[in-house]
């Protein structure tokens, strides 16, 4: 989509700090990190959220999860994997994305 921030990152129109990638997904550092490790994992296919992605392309959804696991394994230790879905859940970019958070103790409940 021409106005999607994450599509522009995938197209190279907006720079990002790459962490890892696979055939279905791309991982890059969040510009406003909420933990010492805060990496976003986005599918190459534009879908608004994880529910839409898994219905439209289960292989892409699995690719996002595989890449998120790789990023988390590289961070070592405990981590949190978050998919915000919808405005009330504070999703700000409506292109499916996972947040991999690690490197500090996480509280519960998260919100």
> Could you write out the three-class secondary structure of 37-91?
EEEEEEECCCCCCHHHHHHHCHHHHHHHHHHHHHHHHHHCCCEEEECCCCHHHCC
Are 81 and 68 contacting, i.e. CB atoms less than 8 angstroms apart? Answer: yes
**Catalytic, out of 24, 38, 95, 97:** 97
| DSSP percent split of the chain into helix, strand, coil, nearest 5 | 30, 25, 45
Q: Is 97 a catalytic residue?
A: yes
Catalytic residues: 97
């Amino acid at each position: 989509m021409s106005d999607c921030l994450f599509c522009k990152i995938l197209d190279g129109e907006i720079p990002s700090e790459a962490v890892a990638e696979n055939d279905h997904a791309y991982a890059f550092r969040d510009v406003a990190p909420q933990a010492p490790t805060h990496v976003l994992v986005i599918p190459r296919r534009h879908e608004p959220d994880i529910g839409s992605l898994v219905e439209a392309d289960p292989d892409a959804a699995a690719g996002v999860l595989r890449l998120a696991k790789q990023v988390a394994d590289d961070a070592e230790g405990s981590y949190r994997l978050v998919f915000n879905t919808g405005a009330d859940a504070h999703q700000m970019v409506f292109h499916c994305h996972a947040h991999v958070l690690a490197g500090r103790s996480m509280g519960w409940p998260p919100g």
